[in-house]
Amino acid sequence: MQQPTPRHNTTGNSNTYEARVPNNPPGGKEAMPMDTEVYESPYADPDELRSSTVDRSQLFLEDGELGSGNFGTVMKGIYKMRKTEKPVAVKILKNDDNLQSVTDEMLREANVMQQLDNPYIVRMIGICEAESLMLVMELAELGPLHKFLQKHKQTTVKNITELVHQVSMGMKYLEEHNFVHRDLAARNVLLVTQHYAKISDFGLSKAVAEEQNYYKAKGHGKWPVKWYAPECINYFKFSSKSDVWSFGVLMWEAFSYGQKPYKGMKGNDVMQMIESGSRMDAPLNCPPEMYDLMKTCWTYKLDDRPGFSVVEPRLREYYYDISQ
* Binding flag, residue 145, ligand AMP (CB under 6 A): no
* Binding flag, residue 201, ligand AMP (CB under 6 A): yes
Stretch that binds ligand AMP, among 36-44, 67-75, 259-267, 280-288 (CB under 6 A): 67-75
Task: State in angstroms the smallest separation of the CB of 163 from ligand AMP.
Answer: 16
* Binding flag, residue 186, ligand AMP (CB under 6 A): no
- State which of positions 147-166 bind ligand AMP (CB under 6 A): none
Stretch that binds ligand AMP, among 35-43, 136-144, 152-160, 230-238 (CB under 6 A): 136-144
DSSP state of 37: T
Among 183, 269, 292, 321, the active-site one is 183
Q: From CA 318, how far away is CA 303, in angstroms rounded?
A: 24
Judged by beta carbon, residue 188 or residue 293, the one nearer ligand AMP is: 188
Judged by beta carbon, residue 198 or residue 305, the one nearer ligand AMP is: 198
Judged by beta carbon, residue 59 or residue 66, the one nearer ligand AMP is: 66
Residue pair 58/136 in contact by the 8 Å Cβ criterion: no
Judged by beta carbon, residue 89 or residue 167, the one nearer ligand AMP is: 89
Query: Which of 118, 161, 193, 200 is close enough to bind ligand AMP by CB under 6 A?
Result: 200
Contacts of 166 (CB under 8 A, 6+ apart): 33, 120, 196, 197, 198
Beta strands in 154-228 (DSSP E): 179-180, 189-193, 196-199, 206-207, 215-216
* Binding flag, residue 116, ligand AMP (CB under 6 A): no
Residue pair 160/255 in contact by the 8 Å Cβ criterion: yes
Query: Which of 11, 51, 52, 69 is close enough to bind ligand AMP by CB under 6 A?
Result: 69
Judged by beta carbon, residue 197 or residue 286, the one nearer ligand AMP is: 197
Q: From CA 134, how far away is CA 113, in angstroms rounded?
A: 14
* Binding flag, residue 224, ligand AMP (CB under 6 A): no
Judged by beta carbon, residue 180 or residue 190, the one nearer ligand AMP is: 190
Stretch that binds ligand AMP, among 11-19, 135-143, 274-282, 284-292 (CB under 6 A): 135-143
**Beta-bridge partners for 53:** 127
Identify the H or E element spanning 77.
strand 72-80
Report the SS3 class of residue 67: strand
* Binding flag, residue 137, ligand AMP (CB under 6 A): yes
Widest distance between CA atoms in the chain: 72
* Binding flag, residue 124, ligand AMP (CB under 6 A): no
Residue 263: burial class (beta carbons within 10 Å; 0-12, 13-18, 19+): exposed
Task: State in angstroms the smallest separation of the CB of 2 from ligand AMP.
Answer: 38
Task: State in angstroms the smallest separation of the CB of 139 from ligand AMP.
Answer: 5
Is 281 catalytic? The answer is: no
Q: What is the DSSP string of 105-131?
A: HHHHHHHHHHT---TTBPPEEEEEESS
Pairing of strands 124-129, 133-138: antiparallel
* Binding flag, residue 59, ligand AMP (CB under 6 A): no
Residue 181: burial class (beta carbons within 10 Å; 0-12, 13-18, 19+): buried
* Binding flag, residue 113, ligand AMP (CB under 6 A): no
Q: From CA 238, how far away is CA 148, in angstroms rounded?
A: 29
Instruction: Tell me the site size for ligand AMP, rule CB under 6 A.
Output: 16
Residues that bind ligand AMP (CB under 6 A): 66-67, 69, 74, 89, 122, 137-141, 143-144, 190, 200-201
Which residues are designated catalytic? Answer: 183
